[in-house]
Chain A
């Protein structure tokens, strides 16, 4: 973008908002919003603390398990749905229902079923991430050119060979897009799960910070989480661009 002959870098708008935050914080409009600089100082202070690192460890573990399961189950299921009309008819209504359902409302039920521990957070993460991964893998497989499928058959591919060396690769751009969105939703899931369970990980920290009006701690934690989510999404977007060259060239 150019303004008055100067090139403005992409992230410049963030700077404006950061300054605005700082000014409003210093003006003391509300105790809810302390100045950004104080939040950053607090961030440096709390991140190396044991309770933060433990919470981070729990979050990372729950996130990796939840999203990992969502990928390991979602991609093959989506691919199979794209290839089998019967399976598609059987499963698709559920997928469509859950993808638009307010999953947070399910978490209390999950707590009853799985307890107030990491299992519930893992399942919440899984439920947030898996549906879009299924749908994208399915859409990717459905657009594979019929002749590529015939090619695999005519050269004698077994079902497993067709799956592992044709379907997954031909649908890879869509699968990766689904995984990226699934990961972003998984970040939401892992946080929402912890907030609702509220006795493990960041949920516990959020609970302590907000009930004690520790706004600096609260914002510092939030910024860290936002940063991680952004990092994940950007990392996957980069991986997606790596395979884009053949997404455009596969007709």
Chain B
């Protein structure tokens, strides 16, 4: 493989997915996700980005091809990956802290130990003080922070995020994106991030894989050249940021109905 020099946390090797009724969602896709980076899967609806994410998660079986995580083939969900859901997927009957600790609860970690870990990550996503609240007492943005803390708490190498901010209102989303950048820098994990927002992808990603539909394929991989050591507002005015948004829009616009 020509990408062999890159240390890939996740490798997608010739993956195809055909749904019942002969619907081709993915066609022989090959893609590497470098360790410690945030890679976005960006594309219009129908390009198979969520399907690919769920195959990496082990929630869907590929029709052919394989996924390697840390060099080992994937057969179902595993401790090396954690998932953040578009609709949060929180347990409404459980408090914030129990939701965050749920992955550890399933592993049989004792209560005091898992609550200690959960408290740490609740703090890390900015929800300190909300440990005993219930999901319906939180805003959409706060609920997704719970979903993120839950994924961080199991200490997986790879975080899979399925349009995590799409059900969050605009202002909260911006704040959340800014906080994500800090988290990515702190956590040293590999993030795979599905989004349909060009601005979002360019803002938070180290690499962007632009996917196109019919047939589903990786059209290009872009590494935005943006100085991330400036303020969030300066970053959004950075010529590199604006140029990259423009360039991706130019290649996607013909696929938007």
Contacts and interface: CB of A to CB of B under 8 A. Distances in A.
A250 B143 CA distance: 12
Interface size on A, as a range, is 20 to 34
B78 interface: yes
Interface string A140-163: 000001011011111111100100
Contacts, number: 62
Given A246-B134, A249-B136, A154 B91 contact: no
B210 to A, nearest CB: 26
Contacts of A249: 92, 135-136
A105 B107 CA distance: 51
Interface in A100-129: none
Contact of A155 (B86, B87, B134, B154): B154
A156 B59 contact: no
A169 interface: yes
B77 A154 contact: yes
A17 interface: no
Given A156-B78, A245-B136, A246-B92, A151 B85 contact: yes
A147 B85 contact: yes
Interface residues of B, number: 27
A246 B94 CA distance: 10
Given A147-B86, A150-B83, A157 B134 contact: no
A172 interface: yes
B83 A151 contact: yes
B92 A250 contact: yes
A147 B92 CA distance: 13
Interface of A: 145, 147-148, 150-158, 161, 165-166, 169-170, 172, 243, 245-246, 249-250
20 contacts: A145-B87, A145-B89, A152-B106, A153-B59, A153-B77, A154-B77, A154-B81, A155-B102, A155-B103, A155-B154, A156-B77, A156-B79, A161-B106, A165-B105, A169-B91, A170-B91, A172-B93, A243-B93, A246-B93, A250-B92
